[in-house]
């Protein structure tokens, strides 16, 4: 044995691998997430984002919480994801499931896991998952680091456990960076609407003008994006008859383009008006348009002498429910609902779902 080998310092590799992650987590990754709002958490910067969505109800009608969007591997283009998706992926897939397999942590199954519905609960679950993982890593021995991964890790099967741990470090740093980018885009996005926008108690000045007015028959082509052809046809019929039982309102840009719309049904319920069919164009979501439409609807309901507003939301739409709850709506029940929809081939079918209904007393 050479003198150099005798004097060579020992390296505690489990601690080195753990410290690599802890350095970035404590200095950059986790502090960047402080102050995350529910708006940011569920913000979809482009249409068809992957996110967390309410699972279909069980046969007995009970809810199953939020699930995470997924698709078969090998897609030509990776989807854009929300912050909610990124954090859920870290909590369950990257940290939680592996902590269970390697360190006897709590059992975590993607298909049944109750993914967090708010930013606050997401950060709490992420903190818990990180602490369990990092504690397990720092208590590994060098012999354990050298043991080969099993078939439960198909990408790393046969490779030393240390390789998997370094991969987890890489994954967490990558997803934290993606979340930071989404937060920056949300804070400095180029599409903004006029008026103050309340986000986590802070006011933000927006820069585009909106006009909210009644929908007219000639507006229908501008609202083709807001639903199936059958939905737009039904809306057009109500606008044409204009018997006063239903108002359709829409938000228009100065160019005349419609970017949001909603419906107010004054006769569906005996003691309240129901706000429904809310839609905001995918390119300008999370910019306050939905809130403006609801506030306008509430003003019209008050003008009719009614003191309550009702909204219904499908169970797989946590983003809309979160908006209504932020605006003061409280859950009053849920029920099965159906309506006609039109498929891509033009055929009409019955859409069956479970809707949660929320109510607000209008002062």
Q: What is the pLDDT of residue 204?
A: 37
* Residues 326, 342: Cα–Cα separation, whole Å: 32
Query: Token digits for 1?
Result: 């044995």
Are 168 and 131 in contact by the 8 Å Cβ rule? The answer is no
Where does the chain hold its CATH 3.40.630.30 domain(s)? Answer: 199-361
272 secondary structure, DSSP code? S
- Find the Cα–Cα–Cα–Cα dihedral 52, 57, 63, 64, rounded to 10°: -50
Those residues whose C-beta lies under 8 Å from the C-beta of residue 116, and which sit 6 or more positions away, are 52, 66, 84, 87, 88, 91, 122, 124, 125
* Residues 156, 69: Cα–Cα separation, whole Å: 24
**Superfamily of structural domain 8-187:** dinb family like domain (1.20.120.450)
Are 139 and 145 in contact by the 8 Å Cβ rule? The answer is no
Q: What is the pLDDT of residue 7?
A: 57
Where does the chain hold its CATH 1.20.120.450 domain(s)? Answer: 8-187
State the CB neighbour count (10 A cutoff) for residue 123: 19
**Per-residue model confidence as pLDDT tens for the chain (363 residues):** 444 455 566 778 888 888 888 898 998 899 999 989 888 898 888 777 899 988 876 666 566 788 898 864 444 457 889 999 999 999 999 999 999 999 999 999 888 899 999 999 999 999 999 999 999 998 899 899 999 999 999 899 999 999 999 999 999 999 999 999 999 888 765 443 333 333 333 333 345 578 899 999 888 888 988 888 888 888 888 888 878 889 999 999 888 888 899 999 998 888 899 999 898 887 777 778 889 999 999 999 999 999 999 999 888 788 788 889 989 999 998 888 877 777 766 777 887 888 899 999 998
Q: Are β-strands 211-214 and 202-206 bridged in parallel, bridged antiparallel, or unpaired?
A: unpaired
Which among 189, 204, 183, 193 has a CA at the least distance from the CA of 293?
193
Put simply, whether the predicted model's pTM sits higher than 0.75 gets the answer: no
- Exposure on the CB side of residue 138, measured as CA atoms within 13 A: 12
Q: What is the pLDDT of residue 200?
A: 37
Those residues whose C-beta lies under 8 Å from the C-beta of residue 62, and which sit 6 or more positions away, are none
* Residues 49, 82: Cα–Cα separation, whole Å: 7
Q: Where does residue 183 fall: left (phi above 0), alpha (psi -120 to 50 degrees), or beta otherwise?
A: alpha
Per the DSSP assignment, residues forming a β-bridge with 314 are: 355
Q: Which residue has the tokens 């004054």?
A: 266
Q: Which residue has the tokens 């591997």?
A: 73
* Residues 42, 65: Cα–Cα separation, whole Å: 15
- Find the Cα–Cα–Cα–Cα dihedral 330, 334, 338, 339, rounded to 10°: 0
Fold of 199-361: Aminopeptidase (3.40.630)
Q: What is the pLDDT of residue 40?
A: 87
* Residues 300, 323: Cα–Cα separation, whole Å: 19
* Residues 34, 172: Cα–Cα separation, whole Å: 16
Which among 187, 262, 194 has a CA at the least distance from the CA of 36?
187
Q: What is the pLDDT of residue 203?
A: 32
Main-chain phi, psi angles of 50, to 5 degrees: -80, 140
Main-chain phi, psi angles of 360, to 5 degrees: -140, 130
Are 150 and 164 in contact by the 8 Å Cβ rule? The answer is no
Those residues whose C-beta lies under 8 Å from the C-beta of residue 285, and which sit 6 or more positions away, are 43, 44
């Amino acid at each position: 044995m050479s003198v150099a080998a005798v004097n060579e310092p020992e390296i505690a590799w489990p601690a080195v691998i753990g410290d690599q992650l802890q350095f970035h987590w404590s200095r950059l990754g986790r502090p960047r997430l402080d102050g995350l709002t529910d708006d940011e958490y569920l913000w979809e910067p482009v249409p068809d984002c992957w996110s967390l969505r309410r699972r279909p109800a069980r046969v007995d009608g009970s809810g199953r919480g939020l699930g995470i969007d997924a698709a078969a591997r090998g897609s030509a283009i990776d989807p854009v994801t929300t912050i909610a998706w990124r954090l859920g992926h870290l909590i369950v897939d990257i940290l939680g499931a592996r902590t269970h397999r390697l360190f006897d942590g709590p059992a975590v199954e993607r298909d049944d896991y109750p993914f967090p519905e708010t930013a606050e609960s997401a950060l709490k679950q992420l903190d818990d998952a990180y602490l369990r993982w990092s504690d397990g890593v720092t208590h590994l021995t060098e012999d354990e680091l050298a043991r080969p991964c099993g078939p439960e890790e198909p990408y790393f099967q046969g490779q030393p456990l240390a390789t998997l741990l370094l991969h987890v470090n890489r994954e967490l740093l990558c997803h934290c960076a993606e979340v930071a980018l989404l937060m920056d885009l949300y804070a400095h996005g180029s599409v903004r609407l006029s008026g103050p926008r309340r986000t986590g108690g802070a006011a933000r000045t927006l820069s585009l003008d909106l006009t909210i007015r009644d929908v007219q028959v000639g507006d229908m082509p501008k609202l083709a994006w807001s639903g199936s052809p059958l939905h737009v046809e039904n809306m057009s019929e109500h606008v044409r008859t204009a018997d006063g039982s239903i108002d359709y309102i829409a938000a228009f840009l100065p160019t005349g383009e419609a970017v949001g719309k909603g419906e107010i049904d004054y006769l569906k319920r005996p003691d309240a008006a129901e706000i429904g069919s809310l839609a905001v164009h995918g390119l300008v979501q999370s910019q306050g348009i939905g809130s403006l439409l609801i506030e306008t609807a509430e003003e019209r309901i008050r003008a009719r002498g009614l003191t309550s507003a009702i909204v219904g939301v499908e169970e797989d739409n946590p983003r809309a429910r979160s908006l209504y709850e932020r605006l003061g709506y409280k859950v009053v029940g849920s029920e099965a609902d159906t309506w006609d929809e039109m498929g891509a081939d033009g055929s009409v079918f019955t859409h069956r779902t479970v809707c949660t209904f929320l109510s607000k007393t209008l002062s």
